[in-house]
Amino acid sequence: MKIQYLSYASRLTGCCLLSLSAASAIAGGGVVLQDDVCKIKIGFYEAHFTAFQPETSGNRQFCEDLPDVGPTIFVLDYLHDSMKEVPIDFRIIRDVTGLGQFVRLEDVQAIADIDAHTVYYHPPTIEADASLVVEPTLAEEGAYIGIVTAGHPTSDEIYSAVFPFEVGRTILDFIWPIVGLLAFLFPAAAIWYLRNHVRREPRQAG
Q: What is the pLDDT of residues 25-40, one digit of tens each?
A: 333 347 887 777 899 9
CA-to-CA dists, residue 81 to 11, 27, 43, 76, 88, angstroms = 18, 27, 15, 13, 13
Quote the pLDDT of residue 180.
Answer: 62
pTM over cut 0.75: no
Helices (H), the chain: 3-6, 22-27, 54-57, 105-109, 171-197
Q: What is the pLDDT of residues 64-81, one digit of tens each?
A: 899 999 999 999 999 999
What domains can you pick out in the chain, each with its CATH number? 3-168 (2.60.40.1930)
Phi/psi-derived region of residue 168, left when phi > 0, alpha when psi is between -120 and 50, beta in every other case:
left
